[in-house]
Amino acid sequence: MATRTQMELGGKNPLIVLDDADIDIAVDLTVKGGFSLTGQACTGTSRVLISRSRKEEYLTRLVEKVKTLKIGNGMTEGTQIGPLATRQQLDTVLGYVEAGKQEATHVHGGEHLTEGEFAKGFYMAPAIFSDVTQQMRIAREEIFGPVVAVIEIDGYEDAIAKANDTPYGLSAALVTNDIGYIQRFPLDIQAGTVKVNRTTTGNLVNAPSAA
């Protein structure tokens, strides 16, 4: 007898930021989607595909925002980023950070935090990489930690091609004010959950793509 099942598998979820996007919104969505739950979410934002003309502005504001995040015990009021779940997972994520340093431009973070309140637990500073290409490990493999890979795009079509160039297809989000792209996005993207001006994470209604 056949049994109906639903599975949530891995993700390499893109946040696409087009040329007309509000950069403050894009930064906020990156932080919420990429670093909340310490990046330990199947639908977490691990790739940001951003218009080439907006990348530097975006990175400047993103680093400024990330520097203000409070890392610590998740049971302490005000904490925004807690520890990774296990030592093994911490080691895995730190391994990806080292791989990213060899391949891409290391913009911020990625350090293993061990002093003071961080002596007990598996803490790391959220990491940001730029100049990431499609062939790099941090662009293709699920890291499941607070690591965001920033990839340049040249327009909507390029963004869709790069976003779909992955064996995963869990969640994807678009940041734009262009109603034409908003209408096209669910049809073009190969993802089970589609968001517009929202994080790749979150308990929102699914809008499966046609693919």
**Which residue numbers are catalytic?**
8, 42
Burial class of residue 80, CB neighbours in 10 A (0-12, 13-18, 19+): middle
| Three-class DSSP category at 174 | strand
Report yes or no: 141 and 93 within 8 Å, Cβ to Cβ: no
H helix runs in the chain, sequence order: 23-35, 55-67, 87-103, 137-140, 156-164, 179-188
What does DSSP say about strands 127-130 and 105-108: parallel, antiparallel, or unpaired? Answer: antiparallel
Nearest residue to 93 (alpha-carbon basis) of 44, 60, 49: 44
> At what angle are helices 23-35 and 55-67 packed, to 10 degrees?
50
Burial class of residue 78, CB neighbours in 10 A (0-12, 13-18, 19+): exposed
